[in-house]
Amino acid sequence: MGRAAETFATLFFLVTLTFALAHAVPDGPAYAILGLKAGPDRVRALNAQLGLDATVWGQYATWWWHVLHGNLGISYLQNRPVVSVIGAYAGRTAVLYSVATGLAVVAAMGLGWLHGVFYRSWPGRVCSAIEIFLYAMPGFFIATVLGMVFSSWLHLLPAAGMVDLHQAAPGFGDRAAHMVLPAASIALFVAPWLARIFAQGVHEELSRDYVRTAQARGVGFGSILLRHVTPNAIRPMVTMLGLSLPAIFSGNVVVESVFDYPGIGWLLWRSAVAHDYPVLVGIVLVVGVATMLGNLAADLVNAWLDPRVTYAA
């Protein structure tokens, strides 16, 4: 009860704060929509059309009433229901981040094993240096460099979008090619800190008694590493991945913007710039719920990996 109530209270507070902040900005969507032709009469007419002529708290109450009926409103920019807008963009982000997370986990485990096993010797130090180097790189820098090298210079991969619009019916290969650079950018950004967490776990587990016992019984090092050390060392990484689910849903605004990838991060940024309040608040709500579910998923996976772990309801 305690955790559930806390989660919902946090969600309520977060959405209320976002709604209040979005409406506290002095200029409104009418000016962004109407541009230079935003004369007072037209602004008034548009605000009435969008329901923005009511008080902020009136709009807030209406918004919650609609949410309770499964309606997050209509996007001012796209004139479509917010639920379908967010659904379309979130779907693309989920695909992108699933691929990126897969790549990141594989890279992190490879690097983490090497780093953990040779923790105090030079291969471990080289791994550590690589991790710190990549971790220090801002996401936009990694994305820009990858785009410049593999798209602009080598012309190996497309730099933007999801498909080649020259083709009327783009195939799977084209879609996959468009995903390589954004996924690699995210993976390169995420993998270093996952690798460090995993390496630390591997290093600690390798010094435990059960490892010495297994070695004394003649179990091979590879088997110890894979069957005994890894399941224990991977748990903190799983927790961190669970906590990063909000990022998966909110998207990496920078990477999605650099590669013009129409995911939820791109949508968040566009909605903020254009004062598309219904979409903006809708994304906050969805990300809040995702955070809640992410924490829950991490708890469940950890409990599955280690039966000693239990959580209060």
Of residues 139 and 236, the one with the C-beta less far from other proteins: 139
Of residues 80 and 125, the one with the C-beta less far from other proteins: 80
Q: Tokens in use for 190?
A: 């995420």
Burial class (CB in 10 A: 0-12, 13-18, 19+), 65: exposed
Q: What is the spatial distance between Cα 117 and Cα 123, in angstroms, rounded to a whole number?
A: 9
Of residues 235 and 270, the one with the C-beta less far from other proteins: 270
| Nearest approach, Cβ of residue 254 and other proteins (Å) | 13
Of residues 49 and 223, the one with the C-beta less far from other proteins: 49
Of residues 60 and 269, the one with the C-beta less far from other proteins: 269
| Nearest approach, Cβ of residue 285 and other proteins (Å) | 20
| Nearest approach, Cβ of residue 24 and other proteins (Å) | 13
Q: Is 298:241 a contact under the CB 8 Å cutoff?
A: yes
Contacts of 118-126 with CB under 8 Å at 24 or more apart are 119/199, 119/203, 124/199
| Nearest approach, Cβ of residue 167 and other proteins (Å) | 8
Q: Is 285:15 a contact under the CB 8 Å cutoff?
A: yes
Contact residues for 157 (Cβ-Cβ < 8 A; gap 6+): 150, 151, 177, 178, 180, 181
Q: Tokens in use for 259?
A: 């590669």
| Nearest approach, Cβ of residue 52 and other proteins (Å) | 13
Q: Is 242:311 a contact under the CB 8 Å cutoff?
A: no
| Nearest approach, Cβ of residue 74 and other proteins (Å) | 7
| Nearest approach, Cβ of residue 272 and other proteins (Å) | 11
Tell me which residues touch other proteins (CB under 8 A). Answer: 26-29, 31-46, 49, 74, 77-80, 147, 151-152, 155, 158-161, 164-168, 257, 260, 262, 270, 275
| Nearest approach, Cβ of residue 301 and other proteins (Å) | 35
Q: What is the spatial distance between Cα 87 and Cα 77, in angstroms, rounded to a whole number?
A: 16
Of residues 125 and 175, the one with the C-beta less far from other proteins: 175
Q: Is 271:283 a contact under the CB 8 Å cutoff?
A: yes
Q: Is 38:31 a contact under the CB 8 Å cutoff?
A: yes
Of residues 1 and 154, the one with the C-beta less far from other proteins: 154
Q: What is the spatial distance between Cα 284 and Cα 289, in angstroms, rounded to a whole number?
A: 9
| Nearest approach, Cβ of residue 25 and other proteins (Å) | 8
Q: Is 76:274 a contact under the CB 8 Å cutoff?
A: yes
Scored b (16 or more CB within 10 A) or e, 120-131 reads eeeebeebbebb
CA-to-CA separations, 166 to 48, 160, 169, 263, in angstroms, rounded? 41, 13, 9, 21
- 37 DSSP 8-state letter: G
Of residues 90 and 191, the one with the C-beta less far from other proteins: 90
Q: Is 287:270 a contact under the CB 8 Å cutoff?
A: no
Of residues 157 and 293, the one with the C-beta less far from other proteins: 157
